[in-house]
Structure 1
Amino acid sequence: MRLKIVCELSDEKFPLNFRRKILMIFKTGLKQSYPEVFEELYGTNTQKDFTFSVYFENGVFGKNEITVTSKRLIINFSTGNAEQAIMFYNAFTNLRGKATRISDTCDLRIISVNIVKMKPIASNSIVFKVLSPIVCRDHNRDTQKDWFYMFEDEQFVPLLKRNLLIKLQDKYGDFVGQDIAAMKITPVSMKKTVALHYDISIVCSLGLIEIEAPKYLLEHVLNEGLGSLTGTGFGMLEQA
């Protein structure tokens, strides 16, 4: 399910670390409507089966903040988890009309929540538009250090496949490894960008990317994102 959440702001200045602030909305809604789900998702290190992107209407990104002269933004939310989809829809709807403090000077208020009809996947090769940057991360569990790669790096595709396998192996079993190994991931027209994730600037990739794979894998990346940190607002795709 894909949702379009239209929001209005009390001030035209929005924090540059906007994904963290949008997650505040998610957490506030879940804590009020489904406290047990909030604890399950955010009380432990649980994989998030959703992704999102944010569009700032007439937004201008500055060095320290985003200027949104229209005082409006749109959250595009997507998940392939039917149960979570209903819960998030209800959580967002229950916040409608209520002000949530984002910064010392800005409140955010949800004014509408709508379900977006998605175009069905019609072939096993799809060109996707990247709505929120793809993060390709190599996490070393021993040293707890992260390395980030962009689309031009030779590690980009192998790491995307490895991270996808980690997410899906428990759900689909061993056979999914063969399908992921056979996937073709081709950057079509991409560019490097740098995004702020909490207090860290990370290298990531935007643009168009073509993926050839079985339908269930294409549906997964369309519904839940591609790459790392999808649950914090990275890797959201739509059919180009």
Structure 2
Amino acid sequence: MRFTVTIQLNQSEIPKDRSRVFLSLIKFWLEKENLELFHKLYGSKATIRKDFTYSLFLGDCKFKREIIEIPDKQAFLNLSSYDLGLGIHIYNALLKGKGHIYSYKDLSMCIRDIQLQKEKLISTDVAFFQTMSPCVVREHHEETNRDWFYSLSEEKGRKLFLQNVQIQVVETLPEAREDAQEMEIEVFKNKEVKVKHYGIEVLANICELEIKAKPYILDYLYKAGIGSLKSTGFGMLKVR
């Protein structure tokens, strides 16, 4: 399931830590619509993988030191979910918020429109994707509880990215364990970017990907997003 949400802002400046802002909007309306699902996803003991992703289009915006300047005061939230039921719940939650104002500090956001988008059918063993939001390669060190982030321009980053994606696939699709090991990922036109995310700068990648895998795995990645932090505004893909 894939849809686009048009959001009107009360001012032309938003925090550079934009993922925190727009995820709070999703969580606010989801909590009002389905408290049980909200706690399942975001409660203190929640550990399940969230098989949805989103990206932001901010029009003719300008990135400054601590803010993003959006002259037309409008943002477009593109959301995709592999889990149809979850996608419907999020869609309904945001639909109920249509026309109402949600405030994040001094920023007010009002959902003006929601449009379903047609999904592409993937029926071959190879697909070409373009990132709609930067994808993240993260390595978590249990002993220090610290995260390290890598570029897809580096061999180590590409190797770790493939491993992370294989784990992601198998956690949601246990039956794909053998097929996931056959997956191949090629990276093209990579551009490294630093994104402010919950107070820290995250190294991320805007690129094109050629992925070879079974069609059902490609379909999953297309709908659920790819890589680390994908349910917080990273790793959304579109078929080229």
Q: Same fold, TM exceeding 0.5?
A: yes
Corresponding residue of 1:107: 108
Q: Hey, what does 1:161 align to over in structure 2?
A: 162
In the TM superposition, 1:182-193 aligns within 5 A as 182-193=182-193
2:95 to 78, 86, 93: 93
Give aligned-pair identity as a percent: 29
- Superposition deviation, residue 217 in structure 1: 1.1
1:22-101 mapped onto 2 (5 Å cutoff): 22-43=22-43, 44-101=46-103
Equivalent residue number for residue 137 of structure 2: 136
Runs of 4+ in structure 1 deviating by more than 6 angstroms, as ranges, are: none
| Structure 1 unaligned blocks of 5 or more | none
Verify: 1:121 aligned to 2:126, yes or no: no
Q: Which moved more, 1:135-144 or 1:73-82?
A: 135-144
CA distance in 1 between partners of 2:127 and 2:234 (Å): 19
Contact 2:151/2:158 (<8 A) preserved: no
Structure 2 contact 169–180 (Cα < 8 Å) conserved: no
Q: CA deviation at 1:83?
A: 0.8
The alpha carbon displacement at 1:120 in A equals 1.2
Q: Which residue of 1 aligns with 2:207?
A: 207
> How far apart, in 2, do the equivalents of 1:55 and 1:157 lie?
26
Q: Per-residue deviation at 1:168?
A: 3.2
- Hey, what does 1:11 align to over in structure 2? 11
CA contact (8 A) 2:58 2:76 kept: yes
Matches of 2:173 and 2:116, distance apart in 1: 28
TM-score normalised over the length of structure 2: 0.95
Contact 2:169 2:217 in 1 (8 A): no
Residue 180 (structure 1) shift: 2.1
Tell me whether 221-230 or 141-150 shows the greater mean CA deviation: 141-150
Q: Is the 8 A contact 1:128 1:239 kept in 2?
A: yes
Aligned length: 238
Question: What CA distance in whole angstroms lies between the structure 2 residues aligned with 1:127 and 1:162?
Answer: 19
Moved more, 125-134 or 156-165: 156-165
How far apart, in 2, do the equivalents of 1:148 and 1:184 lie?
21
Q: Over the residues paired in the alignment, what is the CA RMSD in angstroms?
A: 1.3
| Matched AA of 1:187 | V
- The SS at the match of 2:155 is coil
Distance (Å, rounded) in 2 between the aligned partners of 1:125 and 1:165: 16
1:136 touches 1:148 (CA, 8 Å); kept in 2? yes
**2:96 aligned counterpart, secondary structure:** helix
Distance 1:172 1:37 in 2: 21
- Checking the alignment, whether the CA contact within 8 Å between 1:79 and 1:85 is kept in structure 2 is yes
CA deviations over 1:146-174 (Å, ceiling 9, x no partner):
1111111112233223223333334433x
Listed one character per residue, the Cα deviations across residues 173-230 of structure 1 (whole Å, up to 9, x for unaligned) are: 3x52332222111112111111111111011110211111111111111101110000
1:21 to 1:200, Cα distance in 2 relative to 1, 3 A: same
